A = this chain, B = another copy of it.
Amino acid sequence: MENYRVCQLIRDTRFEGFLLVRGAEKKTDRNGRDYVDMNLGDRTGEINAKIWYWDGKQEVPEAGKPILVQGLVQEYNGRLQMRVEKWRPAAETDRVPMGELVPAAPRAPEEMLSEIRETVASFTSEPLRKLTEEMLRMAGSRLNWFPAAQRMHHAERSGLLHHTTDMLRLAKGALEVYPWLNRDLLLAGVILHDLGKLEELKSDERGNVTDYTRDGQLLGHLVRGITLLDRAAEAAGVTGEPLVLLEHMLLSHHGEAEFGSPRPPMFPEAEALHWIDMMDARLNTMKSAWEKTPEGAFSEKIFSLERRIYHPRYTEDAE
């Protein structure tokens, strides 16, 4: 019995090892018997698990904590499901490999953050540098671990930095193709565009988003980002066009009213920001779907992409 990763699990085998409890709840089956319904995961994926015949007085496994679990992998309604046979909370002495259990950005947050800071330091526009620095200061240490989303793309520890730095690299590539774009403005837009998510999502330090905040629901990260920026501008003493340009870039980066931007991008740097954001978000989503689909096969319909995905063989052999 080996310690497989979750994405490698197959039907009718047994699993034993550490997994993270992503959520757990006591429920009652049709016949009135209690059981525990959990989602367990490691950084490669997630599996639903059931503890049948639960004694109602026991503690339910705690969300966000690792457990040692043994169970049988079965299929239910076309999806894998683990029938738990034994489990216990991980003890401090277990030396659980947390890095294996939590989906996380491929690079260290410090490295990504310093890439961002160096970029800001290189700005020749003083107001843009001041605004960006003040916003980063207000974001504080949460940036180190904050994810970019609950589920869509970069839903992982440090996902916000991952998304931001990949976009920074795309933007720098684009600046070589379009040297007439204003470098500082585009890069400042990339760095600031999603910082409002820090006030929109409730995340723990593992990058696990449990819910939206009240402000996230009522205003969204675009608008909350703008009021944050407005306060940063007051603190940094910045007024006039540079502030309004960045406010517009935050407001318009989803591109269309239908996707939450009441204004479309109205100058080239805002337009570039929108497409760079789209491309990075979509390729991250595509990558997840593509990795889970075997070569030469089609996935089920991917909800966020509204289509099925094909994982090519990438060889010249005929079908």
Cross-chain contact of A76 among B28, B217, B276 (Cβ < 8 A): B28
Binds B, one of A97-105, A111-119, A148-156, A245-253: A245-253
**A140 CB–B CB distance under 8 Å:** no
The stretch of A57-65, A86-94, A301-309 that contacts the partner chain: A301-309
Q: Does A1 contact B (CB under 8 A)?
A: no
Chain B residue nearest to A276 (CB atoms) is B279
Tell me whether B279 and A310 are in contact (CB under 8 A).
no
With A182-B312, A220-B263, A230-B231 in contact, do A166 and B177 touch (Cβ < 8 Å)? yes
On whether A28 and B241 interact (CB within 8 A), knowing A173-B173, A176-B173, A310-B218, the answer reads: no
Question: What residues of B have a CB within 8 angstroms of the CB of A214 in the complex?
Answer: 241, 244, 298, 310, 319
Contacts of A312 in B (CB 8 A): 182, 185, 241, 245, 267, 269
List, in ascending order, chain B residues with CB within 8 A of A286's CB: 267-268, 271
CB of A240, distance to nearest CB on chain B (Å):
3
Residue pair A262, B262 in contact (C-beta under 8 Å): yes
Q: Report the bound CA distance from A298 to B215 in whole Å.
A: 11
A316 in contact with B240 (CB, 8 Å): yes
Contact residue among B174, B238, B257, B283 (Cβ-Cβ distance under 8 Å from A258): B257
Q: Which residues, 156 to 212 on A, are CB-close (under 8 Å) to B?
A: 166, 169-170, 172-174, 176-178, 180-182, 185
Spell out A's residues near B (CB within 8 Å). Answer: 27-32, 50, 52, 72, 74-76, 81, 83, 125-127, 166, 169-170, 172-174, 176-178, 180-182, 185, 214-215, 217-220, 222-223, 226-227, 230-231, 234, 238-242, 244-245, 247-248, 251, 257-264, 266-269, 271-272, 275-276, 278-280, 282-283, 286-287, 290, 298, 305-319
What 10 pairs between A and B have smallest CB-CB spacing?
Answer: A173-B173, A240-B318, A275-B279, A28-B74, A218-B248, A127-B316, A227-B230, A268-B286, A260-B262, A169-B177
